[in-house]
Structure formats: C-alpha cells, structure tokens
Structure 1
C-alpha cells in the first residue's frame, strides 16, 4: 500500500523537484511564477487552492530583498522595482518558491522572511515593502503581459524575452502594471503590509 505524503513532504518534494526543472527566464519573475502556478494546475490541481502568487513592491518601486542570486554582495542584497514569488500554504507551514533566491527551493516561509525579506523596522519608510497576495487560480485567469515594460525607448529588449508566447487572457493583453501597483483599489488579490503578510503565512506554534 502506498502511503500518502504529509503536507510538509508534499511541499518539499512534489510541487517542484528542483529549480533546474522549472521554466525560468531572468528578469521575468512574474512569468516564471505564472508558469509555476500553471504547472500545479496541470499536475496537482487539488493543491492549487493552497497556492498564492505574491507581487512585492511599493509606491516608489524600490524594494530591498536579500539573498538574491543577481546580487554581487555577500548578503545578496538587491533593490528591485518589484519581485514575484510563489507560496504554498500547508497544514505544517508555508513554503516559498523563489527562482531568484540563493535560499532553499522551497524555503520555509519563516526562514525566507528572516533571511530574504527581513523586517522593515531597520530601514527608511520609502523602502518598506507591500505585498499583493493573489490566489494562484485567480492569477492564472487574470494576468496578462505583452512584455512592453521590458523594452527601451528604441524598442530593444532590456533583457532577452522568454521563448514562449506572451501570456494573454480573453479579456486582456497587458495588465502587469495593475499587479505591480500596491493600490488596493486596483487589480486583484489583497494588499498587505509586512506584518499582515507575516501573520497570514507564518508557521504557528501549536505546541
């Protein structure tokens, strides 16, 4: 008789085995996360309701994140205009899938917060992060990008585009700005500050 893995084992071994098995294009984190969500939908549709796609940004579009592979610093600090991660919430805790981090894949949420995001208490208000938390199924059905935000003034790519076609919906060809925006009146999902985000996904001590 084959045993059913518990939630923690499922999160670590079943959703995505390793980074190298995932579709990835540098500097297109929103599309990378869309691909992760779509893979869960195709392979483990019963888990999709426990998954979230999270845009991280702020009004000034200057957000510090640590342990990022693109950084040349020892601490991995990068100031992005926005970043997108994939979250899987289980009975035993939440796991972050970030294809751009040097941390584990997946990484326990509390460890990712501690090392990768870090508390907002230690830096200026203009660098405080906000989080647009979107159920994965809603993200799949609403997100669209024509990649025009990755073109310079001469129409040349700032970074090479993914080889697959642009992600579109029947209602939209390009709404990425609505997802990057942290205006609660715009777009889908729920806007959270750092503390609300932590409270939503942090592992609760049940001992």
Structure 2
C-alpha cells in the first residue's frame, strides 16, 4: 500500500449518534432496524476506499477507526450512510462493501478490519464522548469541534475507547470479522 499515514477520525461517531437521534425523533418505527458500526482493529490501522479525504488516485485512506450508520431494510437489503464517502449517500450495502470496504484477501493481516455492530437504541443509550480524542498533544483541537454540547449519559462522560476497541469482551454490541459483518447486513 505504500507509505500512508493514518488519519485520525474525529467526528464520525458524533455524526452517527446525531443520525440515530434524528431517526428516533422523526422515524421511531424504524429505529430497531438501524445500527451504528465502528470499524477498527487492534493496531488502529484500517484501510477504506472511496473516502472524500483521500489524496490518492485509488481513493484509499487509512483511518484509526471509522463509524458508519446502517439501515437494515431486510435480510438482503441494507443502506449505508457514510458522510465521508464519495459513494452515493445513502449507498446500498453491496456497493459500499465492494467499493469502499473491499475484501481482506489482498490485505496484510495487520490491516484486517473488524466491526463493532451496535443497535441504534443501544448506541443512543450508552455512547459518551468528552472529545478528548480530538485534541493534539498541546491540548488544542485538531479540527474545530462541533458547536453542540458533548454527548454523555447519566453514568458516563467518556467511553469512546470501549466502542473503538475490537475486543469482544469490552463495551456493547457485537464485534464481527469481515465475513460475519457482511452476512449480517447482506444475505446473498
């Protein structure tokens, strides 16, 4: 893959939380068919393609983690909402997988992606971030933070690391390898 630095993903989790909140308030009947998906691995180096921030001809970006929203319409059809992709918005799951995620077969093992799949209601109930991961070593924001208040729960101000972790014994949701992730959202 050449010499590619890792890009810190700073807002996708809050964007997805806002989408979940919007669905809850405007389309509550479909909320149980909606999912938040954190993509990462133990080394926090995950390749994705068709990303707007890519400076490469092949549209590759290496994120430390990334978060997407998926609406599971049926066992065979799902829509992916990724605010950072150059693919259609929303994008059908099969296209997003083939063009944006791609197979692990050509990747070295340290780049294999894992997927923490969390139901939208559970994500809204449990996610909290004080935005400390958005700061550089000097304590300054890497990018301007959102203007709204930090997301927190009654119990917690910051648990984002539990969501980014791909340890199945940590946090909420189901951690899935690529094959299981694909079969969960798209039965052939």
| 1:45-84 → structure 2 map (5 Å cutoff) | 45-84=28-67
Judge conservation of contact 1:109–1:203 (CA < 8 Å) in 2: no
Give the 3-state SS of the residue equivalent to 1:34 in structure 2.
helix
Give the 3-state SS of the residue equivalent to 1:197 in structure 2.
helix
| 1:32-181 → structure 2 map (5 Å cutoff) | 32-91=15-74, 93-181=77-165
- With 172-181 and 194-203 compared, the bigger mean Cα shift is at 194-203
Judge conservation of contact 1:70–1:100 (CA < 8 Å) in 2: yes
- With 58-67 and 90-99 compared, the bigger mean Cα shift is at 90-99
TM-score for both structures, normalised by structure 2 = 0.93
**How big is the shift at 1:153?**
1.8
RMSD, aligned CA = 1.0
Residue 9 of structure 1: aligned partner? none
Equivalent-residue separation in structure 2 for 1:34 and 1:67 (angstroms): 22
Q: How many residues are matched?
A: 179
Equivalent-residue separation in structure 2 for 1:153 and 1:51 (angstroms): 36
**How big is the shift at 1:160?**
1.1
Judge conservation of contact 1:64–1:79 (CA < 8 Å) in 2: yes
Judge conservation of contact 2:40–2:64 (CA < 8 Å) in 1: yes
Runs of 4+ in structure 1 displaced over 2 angstroms? none
Give the 3-state SS of the residue equivalent to 1:70 in structure 2.
coil
**How big is the shift at 1:74?**
2.0
Equivalent-residue separation in structure 2 for 1:29 and 1:162 (angstroms): 11
**How big is the shift at 1:27?**
3.2
- With 64-73 and 84-93 compared, the bigger mean Cα shift is at 84-93
Q: Highest Rg: 1 or 2? A: 1
Query: Unmatched 5+ residue regions in structure 1?
Result: 1-25
